[in-house]
Structure 1
Amino acid sequence: MIDLRSDTVTKPTPGMYRAMCEAEVGDDMAGEDPTVNALEAEIADLQGKEAALFCLSGTMSNQLGVRLHARPGDEVLIHETGHIANYEGGAAAALSGISCRTVPGEGGMPGVDDFTPHVHADAVYLSRTAAICLENTANMAGGRVWPLERLREVSSWAWDRGLKVHLDGARFFNAVVAGGGTPREIAACCDTVSICFSKGLGCPMGSILAGSEAEMHAARRARKLFGGACRQAGVIAATARYALEHHVDRLAEDHVHALAFWNRVSTVEGVSGSAPETNLVFFTLAPQLPSPREICERLRERGVLMEPAGPNRVRACTHLDVSAEQALSAADAVVAVLNGR
């Protein structure tokens, strides 16, 4: 099978397995796991933040970020396709009593004009607008990368109004490799940044949150509350450290493979969309073509896994376990199915 459903389906590389087996470990809840501590220090330094906190998943690190910046009854503003609002099980409301209010914005990137009308006035009958949540890359917008100047403009606007800024950087390093800025430049635009190691970097699990020392102290307490305090977590943190050394620059290969896939699929009449900026390809099917679900079912029979991304959209995701040849083979399968062959 050529699995293009997500970059979360990758298997650990032999080097990752070795790193897991050789990891020096301790009790992370007591702050005694040297591998976790080294990873947290490495990410904090990379982003120019005071501290970082290792987490079990991207949802956990995102939800800790939201919780840090708002109180029960508050709201955060987020793009209408944002992962935190749509794909984390309503966790902000369930775990922290915080609501997400969605705003529009081209390419998954709301600008100042998109956010401004939605900031609540200071009135006792309105929920307090406490923060904005950004997503880089913007997943459902096609893996789009925030231009650094636009990111700076939005964060400056938010801070001028007393709002906090959290970045869902699930594919943070895809944005970096695609030219969205250095890790420090991007992180400087946000109070807290979440990075998911189990997506483009190919780790079996794990995420991290970075911010100020005080914020990470509070996040550590909330992580325990969420059931995320770990013991010998160094066996997983070791894969993240390995990925930071070996898998960041190679993300550019995934971007090249995604573009090659798109260039072939986009030749089919009735297919529309935009050329990918990173490793995510979304294409829209005209009414005369089969539905996304039907397309994906036929592709499975040909050994290609993809998923519908709406009533007329399909998503493909290139990653560590998809070679250039496999990306083109999958594209050929899509073309054949769309052409009724």
Structure 2
Amino acid sequence: MQKTSARLLSLLSLLQTRRDWPGALLAERLEISPRTVRRDVDRLRELGYPIVTSKGPDGGYRLGAGTQLPPLLFDDEQAVALVIALRTAATSGAGTEEAAARALATVRQVLPARLRHRVDTLHVTAVERPTTHTSPQVGGAVLVTLGAAVHARETLRFDYSSPSAPPAGADHTDSPPARRAEPHHLITWNGRWYLVAWDLDREDWRTFRADRITPRTPNGPRFPPRDLPGGDVAAFVAARFQGADGSGAPPCRGQVILRRPASEVAPYVHDGVVEEHGPHHCRLTLGAWSWPALAAALGRFDADVEAVTPAELRSAFDHLARRYADAATAPPHTRGDGQPVTKDTASRSGGPG
């Protein structure tokens, strides 16, 4: 039999892996008697773990939520994942950098030496895509409030500030009536947090910037869920941010089957949707401002293209194919000294190889 301390850690680890544990099953997994399980549960309660007991012939135990955060137990992989998440928290735009740094210091202090060495060698440098806009921070309390409203399906009442207006919610005396929306999803896009919701006043789907939202309390009544257009929040949000004419979609949008696994294509698709289509194929939906531009963008994946839709995209592929074929058979042009520019001379002069 394990020593008491080791047995308590094993018991706690099991309690964290599922919601309910029958006492007999715990005793079997730990190779101890049901009486010893009861004693160990009492010891964990004394340490601050809120363990709930269910009575009856099939009674068991459940690790509940307490008023204070008790000590947590992580295996090696979980501990490393937690450190990585805390190191990258500064790029989330959630305004939790200081809290994440303090949490990281706390976690590192209690890590075993073997894990501390591993995580100390991990240095993360966040490099964001060049952009002309800043990414305002959103308070953690606001994100929690929005997330709770999404989860509870409660109508959200909030003030929404414009870029040039003073902070919303500072004074309700002369402010316009609160906005009302049915929150659907809380998402991040390009370093900013957004709320996808059904605007009750405008009777339309909208995306609200979370840093401009000041929630009012209490929330409104609960609402039945609505179907998001298309059913996919990622595709919906991508279309909203790509569309310039207010239609919610780029002018030209097509779909193809690429003879490449989705895992190889997904890292290079920023504004499209990639879906598995068998072990060696994927379905890619992408948009662009012209059909030739879309065809050229799809060609950069260096993969065979199948099942092209719509017809305009097929025509664009045919147009580019003829243009590229003409370029491949055209005679080389000459440099200023009269010598032809070949592949070798272009490579030596810094051109594409």
The interval holding the TM-score normalised by the smaller chain is under 0.3
Q: Which has the higher contact order (CA 8 A, sep 6+)?
A: 1
When you count helix as a share of all residues, which structure comes out higher?
1
When the two structures are superposed, what TM-score results if normalisation uses the length of structure 2?
Answer: 0.23
When the two structures are superposed, what TM-score results if normalisation uses the length of structure 1?
Answer: 0.24
